[in-house]
Amino acid sequence: MGEFSFIQWIRERQKRRKDVIVGIGDDCAAINVSSYKLCLITTDMLVDGTHFDLEKCTVRDVGRKAIACSISDVAAMGCQATVAVVSICFPDHTTEKFAQELYKGIWSIADKYDIEIAGGDIISGHSPLCINVTMLGRDEGLKPVRRSGARVGDMILVTGTLGGSLLGKHLRFEPRLKEGLILNKNFTIHAMIDISDGLTADLNHILEESRVGAILYEDQIPVSEAAVKMAEKSENTPLYHALSDGEDYELLFTLSKGQAKKAMASHFFDRGMISCIGEITRGRGIQMKFLDGKTRRIKPQGYEHLKP
Amino acid sequence: MGEFSFIQWIRERQKRRKDVIVGIGDDCAAINVSSYKLCLITTDMLVDGTHFDLEKCTVRDVGRKAIACSISDVAAMGCQATVAVVSICFPDHTTEKFAQELYKGIWSIADKYDIEIAGGDIISGHSPLCINVTMLGRDEGLKPVRRSGARVGDMILVTGTLGGSLLGKHLRFEPRLKEGLILNKNFTIHAMIDISDGLTADLNHILEESRVGAILYEDQIPVSEAAVKMAEKSENTPLYHALSDGEDYELLFTLSKGQAKKAMASHFFDRGMISCIGEITRGRGIQMKFLDGKTRRIKPQGYEHLKP
């Protein structure tokens, strides 16, 4: 397989959007942004051995995950994902079939969300498989929701259930794009983030950017079945996994008590789709009200790169 | 060094543009694109051992090159580079100083061209240093110049001199952003590309996209001093290096004979800054008129990834 013949193979199969004026095959792609006020942009790099393990998943899973992670970032701003560019470093001696399978994974989710892969870069190196996705998004006439807007007295809500994503969800999660847009369109969301590092770690990002603290209620944390399963094998509790495991790609957001009540009661979300797990407080850091009635500080735990 | 403290270090030093509404530190960056009709986007991945060699260059060189390559792609569309996002996979045990030096290289050229690094991703892995830059560009009210517009009878022009970039230019080249914009604003450029794979290889991209052929004149090829030096050590001629070496990042473009004459005579370019090296023909492939007066077909030669 050569770089150019592979690019040709991709080009022939790529679904096109009307607003992508120049797609794959030129020095740049060109997108008609006259319907945008703001253009959102996010970039995510995934490398074999850190974000996935090709001995435990298929290369198609990898392609799917790379796109889904970036969609999730646009979802966390409450905006619409539109166009992506994808760079791939293939290890030496990669076969054509392997490369094509990666792209089939990419398309399996990009097509579903009507995202055009408008360009990219295909290289090779003495390195593990590495894939980088940059995703563009459109504001849809809405204000992008930042991490920094949480206010004292806000309720803290989360979509879905948490923990144990390593058992499968980290590969097969559905990015909460629809939910992010519904939230941003119909409620006044003060702050939002997607849970990639872990609930407490990502909550901490909101707290630091907003210069506030939080209290969580143990009995309200939506612990997933996977977290329970993980705890059977690990030395930790299901709660620990729900608080600390990364890559659930659920949305974590804050809004006023009144808005939170409306959101919890709204017809937009199925029962259990969103949970109210805590409250924004004046003091810094995270506290938790445990089932025993006691309130203690907890440390944000989660994944961080480059730590020794 | 931790991921978050390094991101904080970057954030404090990043120069801001007014049109970047949300910069580093959120799930996405947000750019005010109300002055854009088209948004250009290009992405480039560079990996140690393939695009640079940390035993032969500094990590600051790497940061500079990564940004410069992407600027060059926007230049090749005749548009203006504006905002970038940067993903980096650091090898395990990377020091803080090394990571900071990389960013100093990034800023050394981004600041010069008023490009804001509006976001990114910092990861680590059991892998060589890998850096991905996605660059956005603005159309500036101009039509982006594609590869596919070359017409029979067009003259083929190139900026600068060619060959031997491995002796240093591949790290220190100045992207032809200003020249690309001047060309697009003042002349009717039919097709343009930047020379990253090599003159004949990149010319071939234009020819294939435009479904035309070309004839080059040996005596008009602007052979660089570096190509001459390379030839002293290699078994090839300086001409061979000028035709085949990659990473000169000069602009290769076609325009009508009349427009070419105007461009060659214009005050926009210093003497020798642009050369007319050939002509677009009806037949496919590339021919060359050699100094001996004979015309022969030549094969596009240049760098291609993934070739066995």
| HEC assignment per residue over chain A | CCHHHHHHHHHHHCCCCCCEEECCCCCCEEEECCCCCEEEEEEEEEEECCCECCCCCCHHHHHHHHHHHHHHHHHCCCCEEEEEEEEEEEECCCCHHHHHHHHHHHHHHHCCCCCEEEEEEEEEECCCCEEEEEEEEECCCCCCCCCCCCCCCCEEEEECCECCHHHCHHHHCCCCHHHHHHHHHHCCCCEEEECCCCHHHHHHHHHHHHCCEEEEEHHHCCECHHHHHHHHHCCCCHHHHHHHCCCCCCEEEEECHHHHHHHHHCCCCCCCCEEEEEEEECCCEEEEECCCCCEEEECCCCCCCCCC
Q: Which helix (H) or strand (E) holds B166?
A: none
Does residue A182 share a domain with residue A117?
no
pTM: 0.95
Asked if the structure places residue B278 within a domain, the reply is: yes
Cβ within 8 Å, pair A128-B124: no
Cα radius of gyration rounded to whole Å, chain B:
20
Does residue B188 share a domain with residue B222?
yes
- Taken in order B185, B186, B188, B189, the sign of the CA dihedral is negative
Contact assessment for residue A279 and residue A153, using Cβ atoms and an 8 Å cutoff: yes
> Which residues numbered 58-87 in B keep a CB inside 8 Å of some CB on A?
73-74, 76-77, 79, 83, 85-87
For A50-103, the pLDDT digits (tens) are 999 999 999 999 999 999 999 999 999 999 999 999 999 999 989 999 999 999
User: Residue A98 CB: number of other CB atoms within 10 A?
Assistant: 17
Does residue A31 share a domain with residue A71?
yes
Does residue B100 share a domain with residue B42?
yes
Does residue B200 share a domain with residue B72?
no
Q: What is residue B308's predicted lDDT score, i.e. its pLDDT?
A: 47
Asked if the structure places residue B306 within a domain, the reply is: no
> Which residues numbered 189-218 in B keep a CB inside 8 Å of some CB on A?
192-194, 209
Cβ within 8 Å, pair B45-A87: yes
Q: Provide the domain count of chain B.
A: 2
Asked if the structure places residue B18 within a domain, the reply is: yes
Chain A environment of B99 (Cβ under 8 Å): 306
Tokens of B301: 């030669």
Q: Which residue of A has its CA nearest to B42?
A: A28
Give me the residue label for tokens 């982006």: B144
DSSP B48: B
Asked if the structure places residue A235 within a domain, the reply is: yes
- List Cβ neighbours of B4 (8 Å cut-off, separation of 6 or more): A304
Chain B environment of A52 (Cβ under 8 Å): none
At A307, the pLDDT band (50, 70, 90 cuts) reads low
Give me the residue label for tokens 């509006």: B118
Chain A, chain B: beta-carbon pairs less than 8 Å apart = 254
At A306, the pLDDT band (50, 70, 90 cuts) reads low
Does residue B241 share a domain with residue B190?
yes
Does residue B201 share a domain with residue B125?
no
Number of helical H runs and strand E runs in chain B: 9, 13
The parts of chain B modelled with pLDDT lower than 50 are: 308
Contact assessment for residue B247 and residue B175, using Cβ atoms and an 8 Å cutoff: no
CATH number at residue A39: 3.30.1330.10
Asked if the structure places residue A146 within a domain, the reply is: no
From A89, A110, A138, the end of a domain falls on: A138
Asked if the structure places residue B294 within a domain, the reply is: yes
Which of helix, strand or coil describes residue B108?
A: helix
Q: Is B92 on the interface with A (CB under 8 A)?
A: no
Q: What is residue B307's predicted lDDT score, i.e. its pLDDT?
A: 58
For A194-204, the pLDDT digits (tens) are 999 999 999 99
Chain B environment of A146 (Cβ under 8 Å): 22, 26
Cβ within 8 Å, pair A38-B43: no
Q: Which residue of B has its CA nearest to A90?
A: B306
CATH number at residue B200: 3.90.650.10
- Going from the C-alpha of B185 to that of each of A278, B140, B189, B263, B274, the distances in angstroms are 57, 9, 9, 12, 16
Asked if the structure places residue B168 within a domain, the reply is: yes
State the nearest Cα–Cα gap between A270 and chain B, in angstroms: 26
* C-alpha–C-alpha distance, residues B69 and B79, integer Å: 14
Contact assessment for residue B121 and residue A121, using Cβ atoms and an 8 Å cutoff: no
Does residue B274 share a domain with residue B189?
yes
* C-alpha–C-alpha distance, residues A206 and A146, integer Å: 9
> Which residues numbered 99-138 in B keep a CB inside 8 Å of some CB on A?
99, 118-128, 130, 132, 134, 136-137
At A3, the pLDDT band (50, 70, 90 cuts) reads confident
Q: Which helix (H) or strand (E) holds B276?
A: strand B274-281
Does residue B168 share a domain with residue B133?
no
Asked if the structure places residue A210 within a domain, the reply is: yes
DSSP B12: H
Among B27, B122, B21, which residue's Cα sits nearest to residue A193?
A: B27
Range of the structural domain that residue B268 is part of: 155-298
Q: In what order do the strands lie in the sheet with A20-22?
A: A20-22, A29-32, B38-47, B130-138, B80-91, B116-125
Contact assessment for residue A214 and residue A281, using Cβ atoms and an 8 Å cutoff: yes
- List Cβ neighbours of A226 (8 Å cut-off, separation of 6 or more): A163, A164, A165, A167, A168, A169, A241
Cβ within 8 Å, pair B38-A33: yes
At A44, the pLDDT band (50, 70, 90 cuts) reads very high
* C-alpha–C-alpha distance, residues B33 and A39, integer Å: 6
From A138, A165, A188, the end of a domain falls on: A138
For A118-175, the pLDDT digits (tens) are 999 999 999 999 999 999 999 999 999 999 999 999 999 999 999 999 999 999 999 9
From A138, A168, A187, the end of a domain falls on: A138
Does residue A162 share a domain with residue A56?
no
Interface test with chain B among A4, A306, A307, by most B beta carbons within 10 Å = A306
Q: What is the ipTM of this complex?
A: 0.94
Cβ within 8 Å, pair B29-A45: no
User: Residue A84 CB: number of other CB atoms within 10 A?
Assistant: 30
Does residue B133 share a domain with residue B45?
yes
Does residue A200 share a domain with residue A108?
no
Cβ within 8 Å, pair A306-B38: no
- Between B307 and A29, name the one with better pLDDT: A29
Q: Which residue of A has its CA nearest to B303?
A: A3
Cβ within 8 Å, pair B28-A123: no
